Amino acid sequence: MLGAVVRKAANDYGDHVAYVSADGWPFTYEQLDRHSDEAAAGLAERGVAEGTVVVLALPSTIDYLVAYAALAKLGAITAGINPRYQPAERLSAIETVAAEVIIATADLAGGLEESSASLVLIEPAGDAAEVLRELRADGATVDPLPDNIDRPVTICFTSGSTGHPKGALFTNRQLEAIRDLDTGGAWGGGGHAVAPTEFAHVGFMTKWPWLLASGSTTHLQHKWKAARVLELLHEYRMPVIAGVAPQVALLLRQPNFDDYDFSAVTTIVAGAAASPPALVAEARKRFGANYVIRYSSTESGGIGLGTAPDADDEEVLHTVGRPRSGVDVEVRGEDLAALPDGEIGELWLRSPAMMDSYWRNPEATADTIVDGWLRTGDLALVDDAGLVRLAGRVKEMFIRGGYNVYPLEVESVLSTHPGVLESVVIPRPDDVMGEVGVAAVVAADPDNPPTLEELRAHAGESLAAYKLPEALVFVEEFPRNANAKVDRRELANQVNNLPTV
């Protein structure tokens, strides 16, 4: 499916620029097709064939794109490793999928020689002609694959924030569903865009077919930099800002923000990480744009729930909206029965976009996919308006004096205090209550931070007393994993070593 889309995009868009490298050189749709054909032929000579599991330990460059397209044309299974992973994490991911071949740059190959997989080193290209030069067979092509809706295409790694990463498998069936749910299968209409995430992220690996179909021109960076994104938004009058909440926050913190013209920006779409209410309000005001929150996961294929572009304050500041078209949602209790609206339970999703399985892990698959439903591990409730409100992770809930406390519920209220930029609630053992909450806060004004008493008084207007934090620590920023989510385990370690106030 992906290989066919690459060919059709080349036929439709030809010399139109598909990507602009971080160094500024262009790469067209025709070059993507031709270079990936040559790379596919070269990889076939190395023994890569349908079903071969190949790991890409590459930065998010045009080399990565050509390699992914080439492997798709061969029917190989591509697993991309986030370049932010440390060597031990890369090796763990490779062992998870039992990779047969690794394509890597020298700086990301450290420790990978311990793997039994064949290691192929490449040099990052300095221009279009040099992309995957080491692998390409000049002028060669490969025959199109026969249609197979269930052919595996990609394995996307979970963030691994609670242990070793798992590999979520997606086949042609899921990629087609994701394309249809996101765009209805439309072609064309793309303008200029900035790549917001690493290519190994599910938001690229499963959505590349429709991104190619749009005919857009995507600008790459060696590393995502807010200053450069502002320049690109201004220069190309981009209408949409897509990314994760921490990136939006960094855009707003740029000292020269007001020097640019963002009148073309109509929508900000933020997923992957939670968007604090204060951030949403500031972004909507300063960009003069709608803010759309997207809730999904690796396992859901990047398709889940979302707030409406014209959502009112209550919806966009405090909920993750409603199920997107084609997605079913239920909130279930410990007995796995659906709960009535207003009660907190685990959020379950069902859609044709959700992963096929965890690669080589039937036990974890059976725990996560039950009767065609995906257990998200997130706690939520459905309010009277049909909006979904998150309450934290199932494993993050703690019990204070016999009462359940859901950290995200508390965090969402704390984050509405004007002195709070971001907040995370971490449980701490207590001799009397069993556990109590500690609020870790990034202050909006570090020179004038809120006091614990002020935060408790503010939150006490909306929350029962047992839910209120009983200690407060300040941090400059939260530790985050490779997928930009707050690393609560590492934060808990930091909190235990910081003085509380």
CA dist 415 and 277 (Å) reads 6
**CATH class of the region 399-496:** alpha beta
Q: What is the pLDDT of residue 163?
A: 52
Number of Cβ within a 10 Å radius of residue 7: 18
- Listed as ranges, residues in the chain with pLDDT below 70 are 159-164, 482-483, 499
Contacts of 223 (CB under 8 A, 6+ apart): none
Which of 144, 233, 155, 162 shows the shortest CA–CA distance to 485?
Answer: 162
Same fold, 2-217 and 399-496: no
Residues 173 and 356: beta-carbon distance below 8 Å: yes
Residue 77: half-sphere exposure toward Cβ, Cα within 13 Å: 20
In order of 292, 330, 388, 420, the CA distances from 347 in angstroms are 20, 6, 9, 28
Domain regions of the chain by residue span: 2-217, 323-396, 399-496
CA dist 368 and 349 (Å) reads 11
Which CATH superfamily groups domain 323-396? Luciferase; Domain 3 (2.30.38.10)
In order of 16, 69, 204, 206, 428, the CA distances from 29 in angstroms are 6, 12, 17, 19, 54
CA dist 303 and 285 (Å) reads 27
> Is beta strand 290-295 parallel, antiparallel or unpaired with respect to 357-358?
unpaired
Q: What is the pLDDT of residue 483?
A: 65
Give strand pairing partners of 57. 104
Question: Scanning the structure block, which residue is given the tokens 């040559």?
Answer: 38
Structure tokens at 74: 């061969």
| Fold type of domain 2-217 | Rossmann fold (3.40.50)
CA dist 452 and 468 (Å) reads 10
Report which secondary-structure segment, H or E, holds 479.
none
Q: What is the pLDDT of residue 462?
A: 82
pLDDT tens profile 232-255: 999 999 999 999 888 998 899 999
**DSSP letters along 274-339, please?**
---HHHHHHHHHHHTSEEEEEE--TTTTT--EE--TT--HHHHHH---EEPTT-EEEEE-TTSPBP
